[in-house]
């Protein structure tokens, strides 16, 4: 049996006033999206 995950990481984070999307902002030296990927 194979498990598949679809991780939706959309949005621009306009309310955060940043130049890059919020999923790519660094938190403790890692982009936020990496924390999600590591959970899988």
Q: Specify the residue for token string 């006033």.
A: 17
At 1-40, the pLDDT tens digits run: 898 889 888 878 788 888 888 889 899 999 999 998 998 8
Q: Contacts from 1-7 at CB under 8 Å and sequence distance 24+?
A: 5/40, 7/33, 7/36, 7/37, 7/40
Q: Assign 3-class secondary structure to 1-40.
A: CCCCCCCCCCCCCHHHCCCCCHHHCEECCEEHHHHHHHHC
β partners of residue 30? 27
Give the pLDDT score at 31: 93
């Amino acid at each position: 049996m194979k498990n598949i995950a679809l991780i939706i990481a959309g949005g621009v984070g306009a309310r955060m006033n940043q130049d890059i999307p919020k999923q790519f902002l660094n938190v403790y030296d890692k982009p936020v999206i990496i924390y999600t990927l590591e959970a899988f």
